[in-house]
Amino acid sequence: MKVSLIPEKCIACGLCQTYSKIFDYHDDGIVKFTDSQALVKTIDNQDHDTLKAVKACPTKALTIL
């Protein structure tokens, strides 16, 4: 499964990283992946923490592809 970031929708609330460390932030607080500058990342289907982060994002800046 893949997670996609939509940085234009991110409001820099910081919530996603509290669920999953695959998320990090640029200096302005906008979401990025911790280990990549890409906007799409393949994750393990069993990565429930990341799935929780996607569901918790208040602006739908994180999506599952």
Residue with tokens 């200096």: 27
| Among 30, 55, 59, CA closest to 3 | 55
Among 1, 2, 11, 40, binds ligand SF4 (CB under 6 A): 11
Q: What share of the chain is helix, strand, coil (3-state, %, to 5)?
A: 25, 25, 50
Q: Does 62 bind ligand SF4 (CB under 6 A)?
A: yes
Q: Does 22 bind ligand SF4 (CB under 6 A)?
A: no
Among 24, 26, 59, 64, binds ligand SF4 (CB under 6 A): 59
Q: Which residues of this chain interact with ligand SF4, rule CB under 6 A?
A: 10-16, 31, 57-59, 61-62
